[in-house]
């Protein structure tokens, strides 16, 4: 079958009038980038819009997160934690590995977060600036850059302001996935690429994969076991 296709293409090269129909037959109908790119852009914009709309309906959410970090294409670190967020900007993170038993508390807009190195000993606590390297992820992300609204703002800004060469939009029965180019999440300077997978039932991220323009992995996050609108009280977000 491959030889037949290749033979057909070679024949079309000798007769240019037959080349375009042959490419259409082979599934390469989007040679003109305009309509195809516009269609995929609209689908990505719709997916991000669904993410925004569903997030706005939430009072709170939590999920289990597995994050992997890479250097020179090799995984160097993996961490596990449960992330809790309430719409008034309160965040709680219960670490499972490697900082097993530690908990972080933060309220949006405050200059410092509270860290309990040992969750069962609440009297032992640290007050740490949100800009401190101690509170940053392995790629430099601050605690005040972790909530979903910050992430949605980042996606919408990137779609509007950054040239998007190829979305590669895929839709399955339970999720959608696409690429989006963006300036880096932390400083907004270096160009990077993100592969996002969103749940179609929750319209929340299932996977967030971050790459360099050379396709080297930088960071990957797996988000699962979402709990929505559990309405935890103030006490849950206080050390």
Tell me the mean pLDDT per 10 residues along the chain, length 239: 37 42 36 60 96 96 97 94 96 94 95 94 93 84 87 93 90 96 79 96 97 94 98 95
Residue-level pLDDT at 196: 97
User: What are φ and ψ of residue 152, in 5° steps?
Assistant: -65, -40
Q: What is the pLDDT of residue 9?
A: 33
The alpha carbons of the chain give a radius of gyration, in whole angstroms, of 22
Q: For tokens 């319209």, name the residue.
A: 203
Question: Which pair of tokens denotes residue 187?
Answer: 């400083």
**For position 194, what pLDDT does the model report?**
95
CA distance 181 to 168: 12
Which residues sit opposite 119 in a β-bridge? none
Delineate the domains of the chain, giving CATH numbers in brackets.
36-237 (2.50.20.10)
pLDDT of residue 12: 42
Which whole-number Å values give the CA distances from 97 to 36, 145, 146, in the listed order?
44, 21, 18
* pLDDT at site 180: 95
CB neighbour list of residue 77: distance below 8 Å, 6 or more residues apart = 68, 69, 138
Contact 22, 12 (CB under 8 A): yes
- Position 146 scores a pLDDT of 87
Half-sphere exposure at residue 193, Cβ-oriented, CA atoms within 13 angstroms: 15
Q: What's CA 57's distance to the chain center, in Å?
A: 20
Distance CA(64)–CA(144), nearest Å, equals 18
Quote the CA–CA distance of 51 and 169 in Å, as a whole number.
16
The CB-side HSE value for 204 (13 A sphere, CA atoms) comes to: 23
Element (H, E) at 6: helix 2-14
Tell me how many helices (H) and strands (E) the chain has: 4, 11
CB of 166 closer than 8 Å to CB of 39? no
Q: Classify strands 90-97 and 217-228 as parallel, antiparallel or unpaired.
A: unpaired
* Measured distance CA(81)–CA(66) in Å, rounded: 7
Checking DSSP bridges between strand 205-212 and strand 126-129, what pairing results, if any?
Answer: unpaired
């Amino acid at each position: 079958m491959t030889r037949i296709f290749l033979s057909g293409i070679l024949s079309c090269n000798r007769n240019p009038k037959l080349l375009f129909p042959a490419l259409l037959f082979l599934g390469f109908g989007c040679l003109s980038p305009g309509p195809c790119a516009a269609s995929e852009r609209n689908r990505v914009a719709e997916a991000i819009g669904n993410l925004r709309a569903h997030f706005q309906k939430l009072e709170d959410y939590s999920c289990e997160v597995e994050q992997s970090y890479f250097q020179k294409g090799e995984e160097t670190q993996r961490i596990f934690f449960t992330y809790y967020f309430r719409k008034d900007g309160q965040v709680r993170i219960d670490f499972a590995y490697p900082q097993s038993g530690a908990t972080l508390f933060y309220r949006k807009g405050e200059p410092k977060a509270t860290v309990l190195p040992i969750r069962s000993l609440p009297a032992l606590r640290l007050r740490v600036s949100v800009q401190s390297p101690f509170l940053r992820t392995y790629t430099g992300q601050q605690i005040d850059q972790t909530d979903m609204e910050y992430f949605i703002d980042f996606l919408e800004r990137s779609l509007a302001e950054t040239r998007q060469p190829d979305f590669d939009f895929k839709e399955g029965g339970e999720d959608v996935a696409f690429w989006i180019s963006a300036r880096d999440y932390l400083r907004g300077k270096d160009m990077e690429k993100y592969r996002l997978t969103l749940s179609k039932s929750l319209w929340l991220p299932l996977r967030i994969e971050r790459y360099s323009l050379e396709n080297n992995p930088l960071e990957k996050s797996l988000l699962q076991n979402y709990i929505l609108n559990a309405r935890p009280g103030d006490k849950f977000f206080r050390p």
